[in-house]
């Protein structure tokens, strides 16, 4: 699974659970122009802190998701859902 695939799946789950986009400004992602169809999904996931860019600010859409990154994303999603229920 790529980071792009995971971000899209997490964004769908987030919206299905009624969590909306953060009012925070967009996070600059040099490897993803705003015209890309995944841009809104990625901004949602980044603003919620479910996933993150690397040290250079890139998201690396096509990179494979490591087990560690998958677990971190799942924990971030769970934390987001728990905070939304409060």
Question: What residue numbers bound the domain in which 35 lies?
Answer: 3-85
Q: What is the DSSP string of 21-82?
A: PPSSPPPP-TTS-TTSTTHHHHHHHHHTTSS---TTS---TTSBPPHHHHHHHHHHHHHHHH
pLDDT in tens, 20-74: 776 678 889 999 999 999 999 999 999 999 999 999 999 999 999 999 999 999 9
**Residue 65 confidence (pLDDT):** 96
Confidence of residue 86 (pLDDT cuts 50, 70, 90): confident
What is the C-alpha separation between 81 and 67, in angstroms, rounded? 21
Domain count, the chain: 1
- Note the pTM of the prediction, 2 decimals: 0.89
């Amino acid at each position: 699974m790529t980071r792009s695939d995971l971000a899209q799946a997490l964004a769908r789950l987030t919206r299905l659970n009624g969590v909306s986009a953060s009012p925070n400004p967009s996070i600059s992602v040099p490897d993803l122009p705003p015209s890309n169809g995944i841009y809104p999904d990625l901004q949602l996931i980044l603003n919620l802190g479910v996933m993150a860019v690397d040290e250079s600010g890139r998201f690396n859409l096509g990179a494979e998701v490591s087990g560690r990154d998958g677990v971190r994303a799942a924990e971030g999603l769970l934390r987001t859902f728990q905070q939304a229920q409060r």
